Amino acid sequence: MGSALGTAGQDYGIGGVPVVKPGGKVIVPILGFYGYVTAFTSINGGKSWTKAVNVASYINHAEAGNLRSAGLISSAVDAAGKVYVMWPDCRFRTNCSSNDIVYSTSTTGTTWSAVKRVPIDPVTSTVDHFITGAAIAPGTKGTTAHIELAYYFYPVSNCRSSCSMSVGFIQSSTGGSTWTAAETLAGPMNVEQWLPNTFSGWMVADYISVGFAGGKAFPVFAAAQAKTGSLFHEAIYTTTSGQAASTPGLEQMSAAGDVPVPNAHSDHGPMEYLDLDHMVPISGQAPAGE
Whole-number Cα distances in Å, 273 to 54, 55, 283:
20, 21, 7
In this prediction, residue 251 carries a pLDDT of 97
Looking at residue 287, its pLDDT comes to 36
What pLDDT does 168 receive?
98
Instruction: Tell me what pLDDT residue 277 has.
Output: 57
pLDDT of residue 62: 94
197 forms beta bridges with: 202
Distance separating alpha carbons of residues 131 and 74, to the nearest angstrom: 9
Q: Which of 290, 127, 135, 139 has the alpha carbon at shortest distance from 220?
A: 135
Residue 75: predicted pLDDT: 98
pLDDT at 288: 35
Three-state DSSP state, 226: strand
The pLDDT profile of the chain, 290 residues, written as one tens digit per residue, is 678 889 999 998 999 999 999 999 999 999 998 889 999 999 999 999 999 999 999 999 999 999 999 899 999 999 999 999 999 999 999 999 999 999 999 999 999 999 999 999 999 999 999 999 999 999 999 999 999 999 999 999 999 889 999 999 999 999 999 999 999 999 999 999 999 998 889 999 889 999 999 999 999 999 999 999 999 999 999 999 999 999 999 999 999 999 999 999 999 877 666 655 555 555 554 433 33
210 touches 185 (CB < 8 A): no
pLDDT at 286: 40
Kindly compute the dihedral angle of the four CA atoms of residues 244, 250, 252, 255, in this order, to the nearest 10 degrees. Answer: 40
Burial of 252 (0-12, 13-18, 19+ CB in 10 A): exposed
- pTM greater than 0.75 (yes/no): yes
What is residue 1's predicted lDDT score, i.e. its pLDDT?
65
